[in-house]
Amino acid sequence: MDPNLKDRISSALAGCGGDFADIRVEIAESTRVAYRGGRLEAAAQSRDVGGIVRVLVGGRWGIATFNDLGDLAARLREARDCGAATAEGGDVRLAETEPVQDDAPAPMVSDWRTVALADKLALACGYSDLLMGQPLIKDARASLSERFSQCYYANSEGALIYDERPYAVISFSATARDSDQVQEASRSLATRYDYGSLAGREDLALEAARRARALLAAPPVKGGVYPVILSPEMGGLFVHEAFGHLSEADFQADNPQAQAMMTLGRKFGRPILNVVDDASLSGLRGSLKYDDEGVRTGPTYLIREGVLFGRLHHRESAGIMGERVTGNARATFYRYPPIVRMTNTAILGGETPFEEMLAGIKLGVYAVNAGGGQTMFENFAFACPGAYMIRDGKVAELVRDVNFGGNLFETLANIDAVGNDFRWAASGGGCGKGQEMMLPVGMGAPHVRVQGVLIGGR
Amino acid sequence: MGDRAAWTAGTACKSEHTDDRMRVAERALAELARRGASGEVHVASVSGLTAEFSAGKLRNCSADGRVHLSVRASRSGRIGFYSTTDASNPGEAVERALETAECGEELEIAFPSRGIPGGDMPPAAFDPEVADMAADALVRQVGALTAEVEAATPGSQVRSAGRRETEDTVLVNTAGGVVRDRHTALTLFVELSRFAAEDVLLLFQEAGAARLHDPAVEGFPARLGDLYGAAATQAGLAPGKRRVVLAPEAAYVLLAPMFQGVNGLNAVRGTSPLIGKVGSQVLDSRFTLTDDPWLDWAIGSALWDEEGTPTRRKHVFRGGVFKGFLHDLRSAAMGRTESTGNGRRVRGQAPQIGPYSLVIEPGDLPMADLLAEADGGLYVASVIGGGPGGLAGAFSHPVGVGYLVKDGRLAGRVKDVAIAGNVYDLGRHGLVGLEDRTHTVGSMYGAALKVPHILLDGVDVAGK
């Protein structure tokens, strides 16, 4: 932490004008090493320094982003002028929060900043060699990406926070080719504080190779409507895409139609369905002590016993809707103002054993591997590079090119079994919203059974 | 268009802003040379203004300015890369790049010397009206667009945003290559929604151009009004193999897997299904796809790519025949071939292969005839998800917004359907026809898309 920078940020806010102002500064050091096809593809480092100021003027935000930390007061004036660009009145108002002053250093177990670049390359190289030595694997990638951000936040209400946010991910992908048939599979592992945990994970690399090879012989899934069992990994992605984005209140705050659709107390599913978002859990991909408006994080129940119970807010959406701030204001980088984002989102565990879920299905699909996902509120989609058919209550043959889609309301209502085997995904995925990509988020679920899921296929 | 006398090879555009960047770049380049290394230095300075509206009100107006200094260094046959937003110390950036080169990728990249441009004139890419656009003018423009869309789509909720941006770049390398560029961009985005109980309609429209007054950023309200109106009723469509019209906004269903196939890195890696097919008939003879870096006023058009290689207009598929892979310097070095001028940069990252404007040549079907041919089929305005299987050409997407085509018109919204197929199978055997005009829509991999409506037969449609 740089106490001088902290002081400069704090004093720049004094007398800045406007109804409210805040400053967020980020200093991020990143390294990425990647092997592809058995050869080193990238060894890159970067240092990203910059900040963003927001000034609330007449119910509108004026915002300025910058790299030069030299004259923060000038940046505040620039933002204020932007906010005053029109005489038209806005209606932005902020929910009240208690201004916090705190330092939140990361509890590093093994800090990658102390590891030599050559050692990081050796780690990735070992995984790469292992992947390329597997039968039928024609191309493979093993990469290590890490980022350590020092974040400073202050606002005109007196908040002043220093927060460290480390993220590291090791990723494997394997491409198997046999004649014209090409298939790819991937795995990844994320950590927040422990570089050492990324070593010795040959099992994950080999799993990626095995999956890619197996997909070569797998037929495409036949499109149709099936009962589906989602693995915990897929269940986490499902709740993130199919429901989580709908619970982000920034799209509801000024949209009466959306508010009517998302009225608290509305029944969304059976009583077995419980969904929560919680950044305060330690060490997960979406964990934060404070959000990007300096609000202390905590658990927010979104669905409780099948009923819509809460939603995610930043100060603006909570202020407009007259609800409690939840600490979900997040920005991928300092270049963006914070918007409402998920943190660690999960379907909580239930009581049904996996075998019992299978037993009720004559013909269905067991979705195992999570690919990407997307939502259009009512509709959602996610890719599942590998899935198994379920036949007469048993897991049967592997199928490929599986893409799920569905209607949110029908799908949540059609969840008829929630497993007793909850776990958080250990993978290193991220979430995109608007212009911002790859915000680290955590996802968790047990096995979940859904009736009547639409699967695209040939 | 610029005046030929106003530019020379390697100095596409010069301004006082680029002089600052040039000094930083030259200091870094001198340090590279002093350390016995070769390489390139890229300095990009971006300034922009963004205005966002929601529910008819201005939510925020933001100004941004940033600098990216990137150094790609080569020493002892190894490549290193470092980027930073702190351009005050070019020497440190070179030091860190060389540190990564110590254990970097083994590759001999031939950095281009001052190249001879492939085109006669630089494409028009800088509009002072955009560069100088004040915040109140941008707010007025986005506000007027928002009001027009709201009027064309009664009952909808509209969010919109506009951004004007100016980027100055300098690229220098140890082979003597120098490229200076300055371009503008004005992009507009509209999202409209309609929520009713369990029925949600979400439509997007996005377009951009380098100049203030451009057809690409006009015509939003009418297009959104048509799609919005047609979604007022619902229709059904039985699953099976169907005729499908891909709207220009949904063209990436085909283009995304195709780009994976034509990406030179995938050729070098041996994973492209187009390996060994250069010069072969791969698609229907009516299908021609061009990568065009010289379209006037298209965002990103340039005479040199972002590695200093002269760009060229090139057919990717011509008359259905595959004409060749796209390469940057790295993939060209790996594959012992030449860069096609497709080295593009996402700020702060090493160059990678990217297209410019992707243009699908129009066909001979007026829209009315195309819809008549599609009778009983599905009109796809948008899809959801990237879908699996891109490398082999497979696609599979739930449809975001789709319509039944009946009696030559969009006859109601079809919900809960998904489309799937293989772009090479459908492109060879399933092309019914192409609309007789193109539309400029959105972007893909940073490239503008200029495409017609495409009618395919035999697309797998799954649904309830």
DSSP string, B319-343: TTEE---B--HHHHHHTTS---S-E
In this structure, the answer to whether residues B342 and B379 fall within a common structural domain is: yes
Chain A residues with CB-CB distance to B430 below 8 A: none
Question: Is A373 within 8 Å of B195 when comparing Cβ atoms?
Answer: no
Per the structure, the complete domain to which residue B375 belongs is given by 234-463
B303 closest CA partner among B70, B120, B78: B120
Distance from CA of B268 to the nearest CA of A (A): 10
Looking at residue B87, the DSSP 8-state letter turns out to be T
In this structure, the answer to whether residues B203 and B315 fall within a common structural domain is: no
Distance CA A225, CA A454 (A): 5
In this structure, the answer to whether residues B133 and B268 fall within a common structural domain is: no
Distance from CA of A42 to the nearest CA of B (A): 6
Q: Which residue has the higher pLDDT, A403 or A28?
A: A28
Q: Give the mean pLDDT of chain A.
A: 92
In this structure, the answer to whether residues B258 and B400 fall within a common structural domain is: yes
Mean pLDDT of A418-440: 88
A296 touches chain B (CB under 8 A): no
Mean pLDDT of A136-164: 96
Q: Evaluate if residue A272 carries a pLDDT over 90.
A: yes
Report the residue of chain A nearest B190, measured CA to CA: A434
Closest Cβ opposite residue B59 in set A81, A92, A261: A92
In this structure, the answer to whether residues B205 and B245 fall within a common structural domain is: no
Q: Identify the pLDDT of residue A457.
A: 67
Closest Cβ opposite residue B59 in set A61, A121, A457: A61
Distance CA B193, CA B232 (A): 12
> Would you tell me which residues 94-113 of chain A have a C-beta closer than 8 angstroms to some C-beta of chain B?
none
Looking at residue A71, the DSSP 8-state letter turns out to be -
Question: Is B55 within 8 Å of A255 when comparing Cβ atoms?
Answer: yes
Count structural domains, chain B. Answer: 2
Q: Evaluate if residue A194 carries a pLDDT over 90.
A: yes
Distance from CA of B190 to the nearest CA of A (A): 12
Q: What is the pLDDT of residues B74-98, one digit of tens each?
A: 999 999 999 999 888 999 999 999 9
Question: Is A48 within 8 Å of B386 when comparing Cβ atoms?
Answer: no
In CATH terms, the fold of domain A3-216 is PmbA/TldD fold (3.30.2290)
A74 touches chain B (CB under 8 A): no
Distance from CA of A220 to the nearest CA of B (A): 10
Q: Which residue has the higher pLDDT, B372 or A36?
A: B372
- Burial class (CB within 10 angstroms; exposed 0-12, middle 13-18, buried 19+) of B39: buried
Question: Is B62 within 8 Å of A337 when comparing Cβ atoms?
Answer: yes
* 3-state SS, residue B189: strand
Chain B residues with CB-CB distance to A88 below 8 A: 57-58, 143
Question: Is B106 within 8 Å of A138 when comparing Cβ atoms?
Answer: no
A46 closest CA partner among A62, A66, A65, A26: A26
Instruction: Find which of A98-112, A361-375, A383-397 is predicted with most confidence, using mean pLDDT.
Output: A98-112
Distance from CA of B50 to the nearest CA of A (A): 9
Percent of chain A with pLDDT over 70: 98
The two tokens of residue B14 are 């010069």
Interface size A-B, in CB pairs within 8 Å, comes to 284
Distance from CA of A150 to the nearest CA of B (A): 15
Question: Is A64 within 8 Å of B63 when comparing Cβ atoms?
Answer: yes
- Label the pairing between strands A379-391 and A344-347: unpaired
Closest Cβ opposite residue A458 in set B67, B384, B460: B460
Chain A residues with CB-CB distance to B193 below 8 A: 251, 255, 257-258, 377
A378 touches chain B (CB under 8 A): yes
Question: Is A43 within 8 Å of B400 when comparing Cβ atoms?
Answer: no
* Radius of gyration from C-alpha coordinates of chain A: 23
Closest Cβ opposite residue A254 in set B55, B63, B270: B55
A452 touches chain B (CB under 8 A): yes
Question: Is B385 within 8 Å of A382 when comparing Cβ atoms?
Answer: yes
In this structure, the answer to whether residues B238 and B150 fall within a common structural domain is: no
Looking at residue B90, the DSSP 8-state letter turns out to be H
The continuous run of DSSP H or E covering A9 comes out as helix A3-13
In this structure, the answer to whether residues B213 and B239 fall within a common structural domain is: no
Residue ranges for chain B with pLDDT beneath 50: 1-15, 388
Distance CA B291, CA B412 (A): 35
Chain B residues with CB-CB distance to A32 below 8 A: none
Question: Is B271 within 8 Å of A405 when comparing Cβ atoms?
Answer: no
Distance from CA of A73 to the nearest CA of B (A): 15
CB distance B398 to A411 below 8 Å = no
Least confident stretch, A216-230, A421-435, B305-319: A421-435
Distance from CA of A54 to the nearest CA of B (A): 9
DSSP string, B388-408: S-GGGTEEEEEEEEEEEEETT
Question: Is A63 within 8 Å of B83 when comparing Cβ atoms?
Answer: no
The alpha helices in A92-142, defined as continuous H runs, are 117-132
Question: Is B271 within 8 Å of A175 when comparing Cβ atoms?
Answer: yes
In this structure, the answer to whether residues B181 and B68 fall within a common structural domain is: yes
Mutation pick from A35, A36, A39, A46 vs chain B, by most beta carbons of B within 10 Å, is A46
Mutation pick from A378, A451, A455 vs chain B, by most beta carbons of B within 10 Å, is A378
Distance from CA of A452 to the nearest CA of B (A): 9
Rounded to the nearest 10 degrees, the angle between the axes of helix B135-152 and helix B220-230 is: 30
In this structure, the answer to whether residues B213 and B318 fall within a common structural domain is: no
Distance from CA of B433 to the nearest CA of A (A): 22
Mean pLDDT of A240-267: 91
Chain A residues with CB-CB distance to B136 below 8 A: 85-86
A175 touches chain B (CB under 8 A): yes
Question: Phi, psi at residue B149, to the nearest 5°?
Answer: -65, -40
Report the residue of chain B nearest A369, measured CA to CA: B388
Distance from CA of B275 to the nearest CA of A (A): 10
> Would you tell me which residues 390-409 of chain A have a C-beta closer than 8 angstroms to some C-beta of chain B?
400-407, 409
In this structure, the answer to whether residues B49 and B75 fall within a common structural domain is: yes
Question: Is B418 within 8 Å of A455 when comparing Cβ atoms?
Answer: yes
Mean pLDDT of A330-348: 96
Question: Is A455 within 8 Å of B96 when comparing Cβ atoms?
Answer: no
Report the residue of chain A nearest B102, measured CA to CA: A118
Long-range contacts formed by A68-72: CB under 8 A, 24+ apart: A69/A5, A69/A8, A69/A25, A72/A8, A72/A9, A72/A12, A72/A23
The two tokens of residue A394 are 């048993």
Question: Is B60 within 8 Å of A337 when comparing Cβ atoms?
Answer: yes
Q: Identify the pLDDT of residue A161.
A: 97
Distance CA A448, CA A230 (A): 5
A51 touches chain B (CB under 8 A): no
Distance CA B25, CA B39 (A): 12
Question: Is A44 within 8 Å of B81 when comparing Cβ atoms?
Answer: yes
Q: Identify the pLDDT of residue A130.
A: 97
Q: Which of B198, B230, B262 is the last residue of a domain?
A: B230
Is the predicted ipTM greater than 0.90, yes or no? no
- What are the counts of helices (DSSP H) followed by strands (DSSP E) for chain A? 9, 24
* CB-facing half-sphere around the CA of A17: CA atoms within 13 A: 15
Where are chain A's structural domains? 3-216, 224-456
* Radius of gyration from C-alpha coordinates of chain B: 23
Band (A436; pLDDT cuts 50, 70, 90): confident
Q: What is the pLDDT of residues A154-174, one digit of tens each?
A: 999 999 999 999 999 999 999
In this structure, the answer to whether residues B197 and B284 fall within a common structural domain is: no
Distance of CA B153 to the CA centre of its chain: 28
Distance CA B296, CA B315 (A): 18
Chain A residues with CB-CB distance to B260 below 8 A: none
A374 touches chain B (CB under 8 A): yes
Q: Which residue has the higher pLDDT, A21 or A403?
A: A21
